[in-house]
Structure 1
Amino acid sequence: MSWPFAFSALLLLVSSFQRAAAQDDGPKGTCKRTSTCKCKYENGWTIDLTPLKGVGGPRFTDIWDGQYYYDVNLCSDFSQTHCSSATVCQRDLYNEWGFTCGQSQNSYFATEGTRLFLYYIGGEDGRTSRIELTCSTEDGSLVAFGETIELEYDFELKSIYACAQVPQPSALSPGSVLLLIFFVGFIVYFCVGMIVMRFGRHAEGREIVPNVLFWTQLPGLVKDGVLFIWHTIRGGGGGSSGDGGGTGTSSTNTKYDTLCSAPPRLLFLSPLTCASSQRSCDFRNEMSRTIMRCGVGVLLSLLLATGCYGEVCKKEGPCKCRSSKGVMDLSPLQNGTDSEPIFSQISDGKYLYDYSPCADFSNNHCTDVAVCQVAGNTSDSWFNCGKATDTSFGISDADQNIYIDYKGGDPQSNISRSSRVICVCDPSTRALIEAFGDGGTLEYDFTLTSKYCCFVSVPQEGGGGISPGSIMLIVFFNLLFVYLFVGILYMKFGTGAQGKEVMPNGNFWFALPGLIKSGIVFTFRCGKVDTAGSYENIK
């Protein structure tokens, strides 16, 4: 029984090592263009600059190289006074003339060592722009270096969107692990069973299928089980009380009486065992009942686990969390400012609020808070509605948006206040916040719409997902549990063992501590044994 699990564990380890290697080594090979501002590496990692696309015009304007100005829009062309259908437009100091220095439709990616460049060609007189993509925590900053080679203009883009994104999905889910173990175990069960039946028991024809009687009767058992449940739900099949009824009702009741009183079938034991001894027959029936009970319990547990298991976003900072979709990080909104609120004078129609997503602030009204309710224009009319030092993350069931809870209040008056900020992803919006008040509950609701509320897939330090060691532990403890459970049942009902004898391979387990001790002593003595024969006495 352990072979299927061992084989599935081996496959799990191989696949997990491959995934871990693909994630830990980072992007490999060249980055092949998939759109105007996207590319994909050979091992699945991607670069996506789409969030930096300008709306209605260039994303980066008036980039100065010391001699000329440049306007740049990475993902689409734009037109203005001196440039038409341009991704990069060069202008003179007085805006009297301009040249198109590249078009998005003629873009390509190139790798030079560990550096990645995005080229835009097709400009006037053969002008070309080269942008080096540098991974950074910044939202996006562009630096111009001018014409380093004739008619070739160099830039450097520093952005979080220039970071290579780990291929998705990044990890096996618990359900995937269970399904993989089940199907691999199922296949190995049939393969090994057919070999044993063919060469071990010299079976022929359909008899080489392990437990062939069970599998041939399985459709009928399923049908009988469904009809039996339906019969029970319908209250015993209607006219079973015997009031006239018809012969159909009587035969149905007899059928189910026979079904309930018949010895249960067992997957792992041949029905021929019952003919050999009463003990084997009792063991088979008891084992069948136990497995059926446990099967129902395991099935219900899996259904409950599947229903209760949901997406989570693990906190990695006051305004940063990680889920299976990637990382949501509001820190670019903070922009290095801790002393002042990022959002001020937010009105819910009754009160005003100041809010800073990632750090506590102090101003004329508030002291060391992340969310401050200002009830008036005087400095003593404010309330602590949440601190950045006490945040937690969650995912709403309705729309799957991330929310951040800030806890605050007044410790002296023992009045607690809290704020919930729901983050709505919008790649075209930097930041827009709305306040909805508390409705008298002292729990204040806000909605923050921002591109920083979108998940960005970035590698996790130390790797992500289920590690090979975790998979080994999961498989090991499952095997140990099955070994002990089935072994104890077999020793109890199959051999009639009592007391500590029901432990499978009990002599080995009881002698194991002494064997370990003897092995350690033998190792420390470098293999030397007592000439008096003490090593012979180890039992």
Structure 2
Amino acid sequence: MQLKTVFRNCVVFYLISVVMTDDINTDICAYPKHNPGTDLPPAVKRALGVLTKLTGTRFVDKDDKGEYEYKIGICTKADDDAMDNVGVVQVKVKDKHKHRIGFYNDSHLTGGTDWISLEYRGGENYGTHCTHENKKAIIMIVCDPNDSEGHGKVVEENNQKTDECYYLFEYSHSAVCTEVPSFQLLQGLSAGSVIIIIFISLMALYCIVGLLYQRFVRGAKGMEQIPNYAFWQDFGNLQADGCDLVCRSGQRFSSRAYKGIGDDQLGDDEQDIDDHLLPM
């Protein structure tokens, strides 16, 4: 009896696992045109890695005229009402008529440093143009370091060609951005920025070390804890003196030059000096 119960539980667990696995596998992109026997380029490998972070994302937007609404899913159904594997749906706003633009189980993927191009193919046929070919959607996923939630928009419908027509969408997200190593960030700084960083670091070190020294070694309290407090008190006067020396152009007072005594001041008549000695 116990063996039957264990066997029954194992069968139920197996069936649940199969159903869950099937549900998970339906929400991934398939790339039938990619040759599974060849090694993928590094850019495509990176694009696949980034795409796993965005799988299941959806966004909705309208065209410029407001005639059509587009529902887009990244490696998932465009909405809950869409057919299986339909990644992009076009809805006419007036009568709510829907068109299937592309299927995510018929995808093509390319990528670069900070962008991914995800293409859904196999949509409905065009009616009167583009030689009645199947519609397709191209989703350009681009880097935006300030956008961690992701935002999408409709760019254009290019149907003025004889073939290779497409619907173009753009989706921005920070997950697409390439992580820049810290040493490369330092290499991108200018000389002035490096000097400012060094100066600020030295000033911070001077203040911290000086304050600790004044506080715990010399036992200073209050404003006296500031290193070189007397110098900083007089710092404003020093600036004023320097400004007065360099910038002001007014006349300055100077000591008078020595002026010699003239002969007319020394030429007193000696007779006049001795007149009081003569008898009356």
The TM-score bracket by the shorter chain reads 0.3 to 0.5
TM norm structure 2: 0.40
Structure of greater Rg: 2
